Structure 1
C-alpha cells in the first residue's frame, strides 16, 4: 500500500501555517501523514496548532531542548511536529524534514513552505503521474491572480516562457512539462529518489537549496516534471529582477546584503557544480556590468566574495551580513 506524507516548513506564520494544513487534510486524495518543521517560531505557533487540534500536547509542557518532537493524529492523519529552539534557516528545516521522512514508513513526500497551499485536487493530480517521474511539481499560481504563475517557468524544449495557467496547459505534453519546476512549492518526490540523492544541502542555509536539490535529481537521472493541471497557490515572488542587454540576462536583486550574499553564493555554487565555470564567468560579467552602470561598487565587492565562496563551497559566512 502506497503511503503519502506531506512536509511543511514554518517560521512565525501561524495563520498561514494553519491555512496550509487545512488544505492538506482536505485533499481529495488522502494523506497518511504530515510532518511540520517549526524552525524556531515563538510560542504563538504552538498555541495556534493546539487550538486547531494539530498537536495534542499542552504547550506549557513543551520542553526547552534544541529539538523536540510531538506526535498526534488529526482526521486519521499522523502529525509529526518537530520544533527547533533556534532558527537554523529554511535549508536546514527542509533537510531535517526529509531526513525524518526517510526514517519513517512512507513512500512519497510532498514538500512546501507555510505561505503556500495546494488546490484540493493537487495531490491527486500529481499522484496519477507518479509512475512517469520521481520529482513532480504542480504549477505554482499567484494566490491573488490565480490565472498567473507566482514565479514563472521556462519551457526549454519549446523555448517559451510560461507565465499563465493557460501557457502551462499549452506547453504540456500528455499533461507534463518536462525538465522544469518551481521546487519546494508542492514538490512530490519518491522514497527512491531520496534514497538515491540524499537530503537537501542544509549548509546553503536558504535561497537556492531547492534549486540545488532539483539539479541533483536531474544529474542522477531522475525525471523532473511539472504537472500542468496540478495547482499550488503562493504569494507572487518578492525577489526583484532586472533585465540587461536586451533581456539576455535576468539578475536577482535581493532586499539586503544578507539575502544578496546567500543568493549569490548559492547560485555560484550551483552554476559551478552543475553547469561549469563558464556559467560563473558569464554571470559575473553580467552583474559587473550592471553594478558599474549603477555606480554600486560595494555590490561588486560583495558579489566577488560571495561568488568565490560559492565556487569553493565555503559555508556559514552569511551571519556576517545579518543585521
Structure 2
C-alpha cells in the first residue's frame, strides 16, 4: 500500500497536445479556473499550428515544453509525468487535449483518500449519458456503455479496480516512483493500458469515481463484431493506429496475461482480416507490427506518419 498524499498535496496537471490548438486553448482556460491545481504543464508534440507560440503567452501557472519531434501520446505522457515529478508534484492529473473536465471534477477526485491511480468517467460531450470508453465491470464479462449502468454498479460513488487512463486520471508521486514512467516507445495506443496493468501488478489501489466526469468527443464504435457476433475487434481505418495497436497490444498481453492470451490475439487478428474484413495488406501489416514488437523494434510506425 502506498502513502496517502498530505492534505495540502501539490497537484499538477499534465496535458499532451499535437496540432489541436483550439481544443488546447479551451482546456487550458478551464484548468486555469481550477483552484486545487498548483500549475499546468503542457507537453507539445512538435505542433505546427502555433501551439508553442500560444503557450509562450500564458502566465506563470501554465508552462509549455515543445518536443523536438512528434513522439505520440506515449512520449508526451512519459516526459510530462517526469517533468511534474521533477517539479515536486504530489499528485499528477493526466489528460489529452481533447477532453474537458467538468467544473468540480478534480475536487471530487481529491475527496478519495485511499487510492493511488484513479480517475473520472469519460462521457460523450454530445450525449453525456453515454460513455466514450465502455467499461468492463469487475468480476465478469459485462461491458457497459451507459452512465446509468455504471452508477448502478458503483459502491460509495466509485468502482474499484477499473480506470480509463489517461483521460483525467490522478496518479500519486509514490506510485510513479515505484513503477516508473509510461513506455515512450509505444508512440500511441496501448501505452495507457500498459501503465494501468503495471500499476495493478504492483498492487496499486485503482478506481473510477462515477460522479466525476470529463467530456470528450465521440470516438465511434471501439469494437467491430466478428466470429458471428460472439466477440469484437478494435479495427481502425488508420494504418498508424492499427500498426501501433497490433504491436503494442501483443506485447501487453504477453507481458501481463501470458503467451496463451497473446497467441489468441494473433489468431483473432488473422480471422478478422481473413474472414470478417478480408484485407491481405492489413493482415501483412499486422504480422509485421507484431514481429517488430517481439524483436524490440519501435521505429516501424514512422512509415505511417
Query: Are 1:169 and 2:151 counterparts?
Result: yes
Say if 1:18 and 1:49, in contact at 8 Å, map to a contact too: no
Query: Are 1:127 and 2:110 counterparts?
Result: yes
Shift of 1:22: 1.7
Say if 2:123 and 2:213, in contact at 8 Å, map to a contact too: yes
1:16 paired residue number: 23
Shift of 1:221: 0.7
Shift of 1:163: 1.2
2:11 paired residue number: 4
Query: What 5-or-longer segments of structure 2 have no aligned partner?
Result: 1-7
Deviation per CA, 1:123-179: give whole Å up to 9, x if none.
0111111x2210001000011111111111110225432212222211111111122
**CA separation of 1:240/1:163 partners in 2, compared to 1, >3 Å: closer, same or farther?**
closer
1:215 paired residue number: 197
**CA separation of 1:194/1:234 partners in 2, compared to 1, >3 Å: closer, same or farther?**
same
Structure 2: distance between partners of 1:158 and 1:173: 16
Structure 2 residue matching 1:93: 3-state secondary structure: helix
Shift of 1:205: 0.9
Structure 1: distance between partners of 2:67 and 2:96: 16
Shift of 1:14: 1.2
Shift of 1:310: 2.8
1:25 paired residue number: 32
**CA separation of 1:169/1:284 partners in 2, compared to 1, >3 Å: closer, same or farther?**
same
1:272 paired residue number: 254
Match for residue 91 of structure 1 among 74, 82, 105: 74
Say if 1:272 and 1:311, in contact at 8 Å, map to a contact too: no
Deviation per CA, 1:198-239: give whole Å up to 9, x if none.
111001111111111111100111022111111011111256
238-247 or 301-310: bigger deviation: 238-247
Say if 2:95 and 2:168, in contact at 8 Å, map to a contact too: yes
Structure 2: distance between partners of 1:12 and 1:301: 30
Structure 2: distance between partners of 1:93 and 1:264: 21
Moved over 3 A (4+): 46-50
Shift of 1:311: 3.5
2:4 paired residue number: none
Structure 2: distance between partners of 1:312 and 1:164: 40
Structure 2 residue matching 1:97: 3-state secondary structure: helix
184-193 or 312-321: bigger deviation: 312-321
TM (norm. structure 1) is 0.87
Query: Are 1:44 and 2:50 counterparts?
Result: yes
Shift of 1:247: 3.9
Structure 2: distance between partners of 1:267 and 1:158: 21
Say if 2:289 and 2:300, in contact at 8 Å, map to a contact too: no
2:235 paired residue number: 253
Shift of 1:43: 5.3
Query: What 5-or-longer segments of structure 1 have no aligned partner?
Result: 55-71
Structure 2 residue matching 1:32: 3-state secondary structure: strand
Q: CA RMSD in A?
A: 1.7
Structure 2: distance between partners of 1:266 and 1:122: 31
Structure 1: distance between partners of 2:132 and 2:254: 27
Structure 1: distance between partners of 2:69 and 2:221: 25
1:59 paired residue number: none
